[in-house]
Amino acid sequence: MGWASRRADTTEPPGRVLVVSDGLSALGQQEIALAVQLRPRESAERVLADLDRMIATIRRFAERGQLVHAGGFTQLARPGFLDSPVHGILYASGLGVDPEIPATALVAVLVGTADLQLAQSTSVARVLARLGEVTRTYPFPATSDRDRPSVACEGDDRSMLAMTSRVPAPDVSLLSTNGVLAVRCRPSARRTIADALALLPQGMTFALMTAPDPAANARLVWSPGQTGPAAITPPGSAGERMTGSMLIVAPGVDEDRVTLVEDRFVLLARAET
């Protein structure tokens, strides 16, 4: 179902349109929320119709067992969706993102080619955190602006993450408080991680691609040229509970320790760890 609504931070046109699916959960797919910023004098009905068609496409894939999840992405056949450079969709949890979006839904964020490639080569979380930083929206803007500049940067391809094997770990989250990193892991994650690690050469550095911790009030963000760790926070937050969406495990040291590199936690681990 879809409806037109105003942005949370303004009472002036053009506003936005928001579509929230209804019935995908019966197919094993989380419901999808798609919100798009309207252009001046743009027809809300036309945009709603296009978003409804996109939801219908996602439904057809779900009927075939092809599901999308938080931290995942969809590459469209070509740029041009909604008469724009949009070439892909990034998915994230709707928990605490927007008062009009159900917390149980997936937020679908529209991106252009460069941002889609950045998500593919590093992570969806990196793109969303940068969007949150440039728009001053925590944790990221749920409403897609089709005409915004890309957040991809020169030097992204030299990030350590772009050259590291990645292991999906959506049932794991990271929370750093007072310098102590807590790794929260649901029992269901253990088998998935073990199976994925079994495919990697022993002693190889890898990245666990985790979910943001819902208890956090700060999220790590990074861009090339940044000289130290940085995070985005909601208004009025002290940012003392920080989360990231990846844990790089690098074995081969004499003593276990955790550090911050770019926008991720890094565990330097002994072989026996």
Higher pLDDT, 160 or 265: 265
Residue 12 has a pLDDT of 46
Inter-residue contact 11 to 22 (CB < 8 Å): no
CA dist., res. 4 & res. 38, Å (int): 10
CA dist., res. 193 & res. 109, Å (int): 27
CA dist., res. 184 & res. 3, Å (int): 37
Amino acid at 112: G
Burial class (CB in 10 A: 0-12, 13-18, 19+), 173: buried
Question: Long-range pairs for 3-12 at CB < 8 Å and ≥24 separation?
Answer: 3/48, 4/44, 4/48, 5/100, 7/37, 7/143, 8/98, 8/99, 8/100
Q: Is there a cis peptide before residue 14, judged by omega within 30 degrees of 0? A: yes
CA dist., res. 240 & res. 180, Å (int): 11
- Residue 209 pLDDT greater than 70, yes or no: yes
**What whole-number percentage of the chain has pLDDT above 70?**
94
Residue 1 has a pLDDT of 43
Residue 3 has a pLDDT of 40
Going by pLDDT thresholds of 50, 70 and 90, the confidence category of residue 228 is confident
Q: Where are the beta strands (DSSP E) in 51-194?
A: 73-75, 88-93, 106-111, 143-144, 165-177, 180-185
Q: 144-166, pLDDT tens digit by residue?
A: 999 999 999 999 999 988 888 88
Q: What letter does residue 29 receive in the DSSP assignment?
A: P
**Statement: the pTM of the whole predicted model exceeds 0.95:** no
Amino acid at 210: T
- Residue 10 pLDDT greater than 70, yes or no: no
For residue 153 the two structure tokens come to 């940067």
